[in-house]
Amino acid sequence: MRADSDHALMLLTKAANALDEIEDLGEVVKIRDHAEALRSLGKRFELAEEIALRASTIKVKAERRLGELLAKLPLHPGGKPAAATTSNRLQHSTGLKLSDLGISRSDSSRWQKIAQLPKAKFNAFVHSEVEANRLPTTNGVLREAKRYLATERVKSLPQQEGYVTQLAELIDEKRTFTTIYADPPWPYRNRSSNGAANNHYPTLSMDDILAEPVKELVGPSGHLHLWCPASFLEEGLAVIKAWGFVYKSYFVWIKETIGTGNYYRRADELMLFGNRTLNNDQEMLLLGTRGGEGFLDHTVRSWQKYPRREHSRKPDEVREMVEKVSPGPYLELYSRSQPKRGWTHYGNQIVRS
């Protein structure tokens, strides 16, 4: 068994070394399928770890090459978008359908996204996996590609979209955003543990927060990341709904020092997530969504530990996390931070350099 596997791997490696020169989709599919079969065989019969690692490496390299070839297919007559017509373009070009090659639409989409990861970054990622004795996987490479594309998308945005003091300015300019990051000045005045908020910054009434015209600033799909104190969880969910999103999840900021609280002593904050979504306190970041905008990175955990900052100011690292999981353009509401590349900021406490 071992001798047969070694021979098969030798032949497969020889073919894989020529991947960049192979233009025939069917040939690359064969290399990919043979590598997958050898990888599965190695795991099943507990063959040498090296065989499984090399077979897995060849498999993902073949998938990246397939993505390149699929993306290069000529447009279907009529010039329909490439992402929606890969099967039609293949049939028009070769007379074959994706299904004739054993390729699903999902595979085609994933491989084309992987192909957008530059070869040097792809090779570096695969090498790091092998060095760590981990099998390179399609999902792993896909996550790396998504992270890269998200970073490049932010880099492509203007150096500084600027800041505004009235959302009406953005509405008049017909500006829309895919991701909203908000830290409302909640009306703490009737909540004893946080009543000092008014001494640090002006607060808004719940009616004012609910009435913000956020719906007019988001397209048919998008994400909302909303900071929400534990004592305002019910109101936070109402804000997500009023702004046109659906609550989905939450993120927790764990603070390194313990604060006060009406009940438990607070050492965290929640950020709620919604779409058109992230959720957990104590300050929570709630997550809401609108439409079908996908989450870019499912490897981000639901909590992080950061030092406590001046009253109510959130960690800058959270904005970087938002960029990992949600697509731009980005609008920060009630900003109390330094303006950031690729973001538009609304608020009267923006830190100007």
11 and 115 together in one domain: yes
Give the pLDDT confidence of 203-254 residue by residue, as tens digits. 788 998 999 999 999 988 899 999 988 889 999 999 999 999 999 988 888 8
Least confident of 67-76, 186-195, 330-339: 186-195
- pLDDT confidence of residue 100: 77
Of 87, 38, 85, 28, the C-alpha closest to 62 is 28
- CA torsion, points 200, 205, 210, 211, in degrees to nearest 10? -110
- pLDDT confidence of residue 310: 60
Does position 275 have pLDDT exceeding 50, yes or no? yes
Give the pLDDT confidence of 291-321 residue by residue, as tens digits. 777 777 777 777 777 666 665 678 788 888 8
**What's the half-sphere exposure (Cβ side, CA atoms, 13 Å) at 330?**
30
181 and 314 together in one domain: yes
Split into its structural domains, the chain has a count of: 2
Strand partners, 224: 180, 274
Give the pLDDT confidence of 134-158 residue by residue, as tens digits. 889 999 998 888 878 866 765 655 5
Q: How confident is the model at residue 276 (pLDDT cuts 50, 70, 90)?
A: low
Which of 102, 128, 154 delimits the end of a domain?
A: 128
* Residue at 269 is within a domain: yes
98 and 212 together in one domain: no
Which of 107, 128, 149 delimits the end of a domain?
A: 128
* Residue at 62 is within a domain: yes
- DSSP for 123-187, written as a single string: HHHHHHHHHTT----HHHHHHHHHHHHHHHHHHHS-S---EES-HHHHHHTT--EEEEEE-----
- pLDDT confidence of residue 281: 35
Q: How confident is the model at residue 78 (pLDDT cuts 50, 70, 90)?
A: very low
Give the pLDDT confidence of 12-41 residue by residue, as tens digits. 676 667 787 888 888 888 888 888 877 776
Q: What would the two tokens of residue 115 be?
A: 């192909």
- pLDDT confidence of residue 199: 38
224 and 83 together in one domain: no
Rg (CA), the chain: 25
104 and 236 together in one domain: no
Does position 329 have pLDDT exceeding 50, yes or no? yes
* Residue at 289 is within a domain: yes
Per-residue pLDDT averaged across 5-11, rounded? 61
209 and 296 together in one domain: yes
Name the percent of the chain lying above pLDDT 70.
68
* Residue at 352 is within a domain: no
Does position 76 have pLDDT exceeding 80, yes or no? no
* Residue at 283 is within a domain: yes
230 and 294 together in one domain: yes
* Residue at 228 is within a domain: yes
Per-residue pLDDT averaged across 263-290, rounded? 60
104 and 193 together in one domain: no
* Residue at 219 is within a domain: yes
66 and 195 together in one domain: no
Per-residue pLDDT averaged across 62-83, rounded? 70
Does position 164 have pLDDT exceeding 90, yes or no? no
325 and 260 together in one domain: yes
204 and 63 together in one domain: no
Per-residue pLDDT averaged across 71-88, rounded? 55
* Residue at 151 is within a domain: no
Top mean pLDDT of 5-9, 251-255, 276-280 is at 251-255
193 and 277 together in one domain: yes
Distances (CA, A) of 306 to 50, 160, 302: 40, 26, 13
Distances (CA, A) of 50 to 38, 43, 288, 293, 351: 12, 11, 44, 40, 53
Which of 84, 106, 128 delimits the end of a domain?
A: 128
| CATH number of the domain where residue 244 is located | 3.40.50
Parent domain of 110: 2-128
